[in-house]
Structure formats: C-alpha cells, structure tokens
A and B are shown apart, each in its own frame.
Chain A
C-alpha cells in the first residue's frame, strides 16, 4: 500500500473515509481480534443519531417499533485519550510544496486516523479544539459512531485568532478532571511559552501530555530568495503583521534563531519526560502516526 502524497491528502475532503484509509494502512498486518466493533455485554438501546453506523441498528426492534434503535454494549475502556488541537491562525500556514495543504488539515487527518486506531482497540477518546475565540469540545466516547462525530466536528474547524490566554483556559480544566492521556497538536509557535506552560500544567496535574509539533519544510529551511514581504497570520504586539526582508541576507540568522527556539522547546518537554515529536506536513500521515505510536508505546 503506497503512502498518501501531500496532494492527495490536501484534495480529499471526506475525513471519515480518509482517516479510515490511513488507519487501515497503519494497521496493516495487525491481528483484528474479537474486539472489532461492539462489546459483549448489552448495555442499553438508544435512538439512532447522525454518525451511527447502520450496522448497529437493531432491525428486529425496528420491525416492532418502526423506529431506529442502536444497540449499545458495555465495553471496558482501558484508556481515555483527549486530543487537544490548537486552532490558532498560525495553524492555517500552507505548505509551499502543496499550497492547498495546511497544518490544520494535516492535524485533522492525523487525529481522525488515530481515533480509528483507538476505536479498533476499544479505547475512548475526546476532542478539544481551542483558540482565543472558539472552543469545540466533543466529550469522551467510544465506538465507530463517536469516531464519526469527531470527524464531523473536525471537518468544521477553521484556523483563526490566537492561543487562548489564562482566563480563557481556566474553564477548560473541567474537561481534564477524569484521568486521561492528552495528545497536544500545535505548531508551538509561542510568545511566552504559553503552550508549553499549558502542557506543564497538565503534566503537574497528572495528565501526561504527548506533544506533536506540526511544521512545514520552509520553516526548517527558509528557501526564499530576493526581496519578500512576509505576512504574519498571528500578529501581536511582539511580532509585526508584515516584515520586508532580504531573504538571502536573513536566512542564516533565521535558521539559527529557529534552531535555538526548537532546542529550547524540546528541552522543556524533555524536562517533563515527554518527547516532542516534530513532523513536517509534507510527510505522509501514516509515517508520522507510526512514529508517534512507536515512540509512545503505552498508547496502542
């Protein structure tokens, strides 16, 4: 099975299908045990909701009541994984290789695919997408329908505004009251370590945080030439909205500064016994997922 190219990734808009395709690629060769789909013990019937698979509809009950009911079974969850996705404007940064692919789209595919994998092993998962303007939360759940709900929510997300400040973060802590494994997706382009501080707080509260940094290749190589006007999608008092640069003259200083910032960031996460994984969105999602799963063996 060939890996997905950035162009295919960018052009496919059906996140459910895409994530399933990616996840099956990752799971290739893994033995599917009886844990596929539903559990063993009957729990309850509930009304059909958008996103539920029609395979879970109890057709006998439908014949009797003329209504759609979904049979829910009890399954013991081993783990709750909470995806925290940074949806600030900088996540809208497009790749210079494939201009229709941006970091947010890559993150959506990544989360949806991992949800498939988690679903396959019966884990529960939730989603928290945050920026300074909007917070999207999909509570903990499991099963295929939950994965579909998360995929639908992910599809509606847009990159805008900033990372939320302290006052905006305060009401979010309620989502972490139950023990969970947090996966934090961001570009970690921070002004005053606000994102890594958030991770540190979670770590201090006993909610281990696994960070995934999304970058584009141009941020690592600065391949520009000539005179350019660089526009900052996330303008703030410290960084200007636009900057005219002589790319060749400033390449080296940028590369040095960027490398320093990256090593500092890695050092901060290393201090919390978390390994920061930095991935280029030009790489296939499968590769990143495999590496992430291998690195954090306790996940899958």
Chain B
C-alpha cells in the first residue's frame, strides 16, 4: 500500500474537484439529446406546451447527486495530505544548539517564546538524529552539515532554531536552510568586527608611485599600518604581512625566511629568483607571476616598476590592492564571512524540493463508501436507462 500512498496521495489531486463539472455536463448534454425511438402510436401521447429541454427541472436528481458525491469522495480520498495538513497543523519543534544547556534552553523558550509554552511543542537537540533535549547532548556536532541535512526534513520545515550566539565562519560550501525557520540566539549579538587589514612593510628605495597609492589606500582604510624597515633584522612574519622589497639583489636571507614563515613578498623584475622556484602567471593582461615559498608566496612583476609602463594606469591603487590581497591566503581566511543566529545565511530549500511527504494511509471507510456509492450509481443508472426500459417487455 505504501507505493500507492506515495503515488496517489498528493494535494495535486484536489484539482479533481474540478471534475465535478463532468457529471453535470453529461447530465445537461443528455437532457438536450434524449434517446430517439420510432413510435407509431404517437397520436395518443399527450403533447405538453413547453419543451422539457427548456425547463429548469433537473431530471434524475438522485443519480446526479450520487455522481457528484462519487467525484467528491474520490477527490477527498486522493487529496488527503493537504486537507490533513490544513486541519491539523504541524507540531511546533525547537531545535537547540547542543552547546546550550538544556535548562538554559527551556528558560529561553519560556521567556522568549511564550506562544510555544502554551501549545504542544517538542524540544530537540540540533543534531542529525534530533534526539530529545532530555537526553544527553550530542558531542562534536558540525552545525553547518546538520542544518543542511535538517533543511530537507518535512517535519522540521517550520522549526525554531536556537543557537548560541557565537559567530560561525561562513563555509566555502553552501549552507542550506529552510525559509520557514525562525532563528533565535541565546545571547545578545556581539559587535561585528571590521575587516582584518594586512600589516605592510617597505624595504629599500620605493618607487615614486608608492606614496600616492598609499595615500589612496589610507583614504579608504584609515587603520592601515605601513612601516618602512631600514634593517633587515627587524623583519618578521609575525609582525608583517606584506613586504614591498625595492632593495638590492639578491634577496637577503632574512627576507627569504620571512616568506618561508608565511609572509607575502612583492618585488619587480630586478630581483632574480632562485632556479628551483616555480612561478605561475597570475594575471595574463599584466606581467605578474607568483610562486609559493614555504608557507608564504612571492609576487614578482615581470617589468621594472619604476617605468611608466607599470604605473600609468587609472586604477592602480585598487588594482594593486586586489592583486596583493588575492595572493595573501591567510588574510583571506581571516576576512571570510561570519554568520550567527541573528544574521543567518544560507540558500533556502524551496518547499517543492522537500521529499518524504508524510505518508497517510488510505482510509478504508472512505474506500468502502466510494465503492458503495459507485455500485448504487450503476444500479440506479441501469434501472433508469430508457433503452433498458424499452427492452423489458417479455418474449412471446
């Protein structure tokens, strides 16, 4: 019976109510086209003034009523899920972040969601198994995976989500949520942090365009720190993120160590790289290459940055900032998006994509009633058929 339920029982069958028009149409058509019988003794049949086809009287009222009932019952039978959902709304469900204590969660529900406290509701742990909050909280829950999993559950489409208010870094994979979820946080939200800025250092004789570029950057980012290093020894990856090196070739060992520790080194073509480095072209339109060195990387321009060819560009500051920050992976990691209960993210899962609708058993009494009505309708229709009546005369 399960496959029958899955296939037939769907709210779309409510369109079947439109089929109520079919018996009415058949009835009206048959009224306008009665059966024709040659009958020689017509002169003794009384002639009524008004043609019955124009009379607003409905013939065979019981038959029509039965047929309408049959169609209605069939539509009811097949469209049960929608009707049931309308009649019995789903039970309220609160999904609680396992890092929250059960007592705190219940207190929050009583305080902030009084409408739930009055009605019947379930409080479950936000975990793939959605165990009750009375059981021990599950450990090491991947919140993103769990939410994505639960967003496809039909019974949790309208759940209340209670999160602890830590900000969660956005994942590189899409988080999926239900558009009907109501998000709540246990604590007040913290002030949002601004973007993390790199610490820039300059070494050697900087080109002439550096000062205007720096000025432009500072206009947009006042907190940007730039230091000019006179001594190579002061350079460290812990203190500095980007190093613009315009000093003499070859590279000092301290600069090499800085890059290997995770810094970003920016030079032009005057600095020759060691042979073992494998440079990759970053931007086809601009002669710039990058190579990984230890935990950091080296961004090397293939032209002289003192030349006009390098700096005669309209958007030089923006361009350089994009190029350099795109190469700085740790900075990007620190600057990725954050989300929390107060600021939920994620791609909503539309209702039509939610599978596993709640299966309803076909109601036996409805089937029995339908069969009985069908039998009654057939009996009545056959007993009233004019041709049948005409053929009822006995032989011999």
Contact = CB atoms under 8 A, between A and B. Distances in A.
B47 interface: yes
A232 B394 CA distance: 24
Interface string A209-233: 0000000011101011111111111
Interface string B276-316: 00000000000000000000000000000000000000000
Interface residues of A, number: 46
Interface string B52-84: 110000011000000000000000000000000
B59 A227 contact: yes
B40 A187 contact: yes
A5 B390 contact: no
A228 B386 contact: yes
B38 A94 contact: yes
B4 interface: no
A161 interface: no
A158 interface: no
A150 B394 CA distance: 33
A244 interface: yes
B393 A240 contact: no
A240 B37 contact: no
B38 to A, nearest CB: 5
Contacts of A226: 34-35, 59-60, 384-386, 389
B120 interface: no
B390 A218 contact: yes
A215 B348 CA distance: 81
Nearest to B59: A227
A147 interface: no
A232 B389 contact: no
A187 B40 CA distance: 9
B393 A232 contact: no
A231 B38 contact: yes
Contacts of A246: 52, 59
B34 A243 contact: no
Contacts of B322: none
A243 to B, nearest CB: 6
A258 interface: yes
A97 B389 contact: no
Contacts of A208: none
A224 B386 contact: yes
A94 B393 CA distance: 13
Contact of B42 (A94, A217, A223, A232): A232
B39 interface: yes
Count class of interface residues, chain B: 20 to 34
B51 interface: yes
A131 to B, nearest CB: 14
A189 B389 contact: no
B89 interface: no
Nearest to A242: B36
A217 B393 CA distance: 7
Interface centre among B37, B41, B47, B53, by most chain A C-beta atoms within 10 angstroms, is B41
B391 A234 contact: no
Contact of B39 (A5, A93, A98, A283): A93
A191 interface: yes
A4 B376 CA distance: 40
A176 interface: no
A96 B388 CA distance: 10
B396 A239 contact: no
Nearest to A251: B45
B396 to A, nearest CB: 6
Contacts of B390: 96, 218, 223-224
A234 B40 contact: yes
A257 interface: yes
Contact of B389 (A98, A224, A230, A239): A224
Given A244-B53, A282-B395, A261 B44 contact: yes
B42 A230 contact: yes
Interface of B: 30-31, 34-48, 51-53, 59-60, 384-386, 388-396
Given A90-B40, A245-B52, 19 more contacts: A93-B40, A96-B391, A98-B395, A219-B39, A223-B389, A224-B389, A224-B390, A226-B60, A226-B389, A227-B30, A228-B36, A229-B34, A230-B45, A231-B42, A238-B43, A244-B52, A247-B386, A282-B393, A282-B395
The 6 closest A-B pairs by CB, nearest first: A225-B389, A90-B40, A257-B44, A93-B40, A232-B42, A227-B34
Interface of A: 5-6, 89-90, 93-94, 96-98, 187, 189, 191, 217-219, 221, 223-234, 238-240, 242-247, 250, 253-254, 257-258, 261, 282-284
18 contacts: A5-B395, A96-B390, A218-B390, A221-B393, A225-B384, A226-B385, A228-B37, A229-B35, A230-B42, A231-B38, A232-B39, A232-B43, A234-B40, A239-B43, A243-B45, A244-B52, A254-B46, A282-B395
